[in-house]
Amino acid sequence: MKLNLFLVVFLFSFSGSAEVATFGGGCFWCMEPPYEGLEGVSSVISGYMGGSKENADYKKVSSGMTKHLEVVQITYDPKKISYKELVKIFWRNVDPTQADGQFNDKGDQYKTVIFFHDQAQKTTALESKKRLEESGKFKKPIVTKIIPAKKFFPAEDYHQDYYKKNTLRYKYYRYLSGRDDFIEKHWGKTRK
């Protein structure tokens, strides 16, 4: 499966119009569905980024010892969907005020972060965060960091498209996490 994912990303990238966006929004299982199926998005891969160790896997990351975060890396065509729109989707699927993780998932690996890949992404993300802060939508401060991208480590195969492969378990986990209640309260019904 990893070979197929990388082949799709490679072929799309080879066309010259592909760009990459990386977001940490807590459990990566919950961050795949909002992006998959969008026109212009060719792949959404769960993985790890931002840590201090040379490699990352689920066991190491979940121990908290590597300082990596769970992320999704999105390959997209900017002629069909903008980075600004991807960032907007990110904000509408996280609690940007939670400093200790996301919803029921606690720990550094579940914190929210936007990893930028170039100056344009950094500018867009910072402007978006500022607009959100000024909107007054949240009473608490926005704690989501916007930092440079590092090496990306794809997650294990069983994590990829978990919400499709384990539908009932995923729905149960998501329901109990409180994510959907939070999103509906602040944004109304959104993609999940």
Give CA–CA dist 65/145, Å, rounded.
20
Residue 19: strand, helix, or coil: strand
| Contact yes or no for 33/192 (Cβ under 8 A) | yes
Give CA–CA dist 99/112, Å, rounded.
8
Domains present along the chain, CATH in parentheses:
2-187 (3.30.1060.10)
Encoding tokens for residue 59?
Answer: 């066991």
The catalytic residues are 27
In tens, the pLDDT along 17-37 reads: 899 999 999 999 999 999 999
In tens, the pLDDT along 71-129 reads: 999 999 999 999 999 999 999 999 999 999 999 999 999 999 999 999 999 999 999 99
Q: What is the pLDDT of residue 192?
A: 52
Query: Which DSSP letter does residue 81 get?
Result: S
Residue 113 CA to chain centroid, in angstroms? 8
Predicted TM-score (pTM) of the model is 0.89
Could you tell me what percent of the chain has a pLDDT over 90? 83
